Each structure stands twice: as C-alpha cells, then as structure tokens.
Amino acid sequence: MSEIFNLCDILIYHRYWGNEMDNQTDMFSIINIKNESPDKDVPKGVKLKKREMWCPYCSKPVIFIKDKTHGVKRCPYCNISDKDYYVKVVNNNWL
C-alpha cells in the first residue's frame, strides 16, 4: 500500500510543479510582454517625473528612448513607439 501512496504523491507533486511552472511562465509574459488591453489613463496617484511618460503596455512610467533610425521614441521595455495610438491617448493630458 505504501508504494501506491508514494506513487500518487509523486504524481501529485509533478502535477503541482507542472502547474506552478505554467503560472510562472504566464506571470513572466504578463510582466514583460505588452498588455493585451493597454491603459487608457495614467493611474491616479502616479506622478510622472520630467521626461517620463506612461507606457500603457508596460503599465509603468518609462523614459522613451530616441530611435534615430525611425525618428521616433520608444519604450525601452516593450519597444512601443510614441506614435502608438494608446501611448498618445494615455499621455495626452499633459503633452
């Protein structure tokens, strides 16, 4: 009997860690890849410093970096350009 229980334990263990790994992968992609639904506004209470813009895809304040090749500025994290519709919308209030 104890052997059967051990086998079950091992299966549960593997299943648990399998799911855990998936969850971590999902978390990772949420943090590092563009939001599915970009922010429409800068969240209340957020104060942007000089030169900072709100990246609606990363949901954080970033300093957009000049892309000399394309003549635009880009978020250093997700690479979205400041010509993007939602980047304009979310930063519109104070531009």
Among residues 15 and 79, whose Cβ is nearest to Zn ion?
A: 79
Gap between the Cα atoms of 11 and 26, Å rounded: 23
Residue of the chain from 55, 73, 84, 86 that contacts Zn ion (CB under 5 A): 55
Q: Tell me: does residue 77 bind Zn ion (CB under 5 A).
A: yes
Residue of the chain from 48, 63, 78, 89 that contacts Zn ion (CB under 5 A): 78
| Residue keyed to tokens 């992609």 | 29
Contact assessment for residue 72 and residue 65, using Cβ atoms and an 8 Å cutoff: no
Q: Tell me: does residue 89 bind Zn ion (CB under 5 A).
A: no
Who contacts 66 (Cβ-Cβ below 8 Å, separation ≥6)?
A: 72, 73, 74
Q: Which residues bind Zn ion (CB under 5 A)?
A: 55, 57-58, 75, 77-78
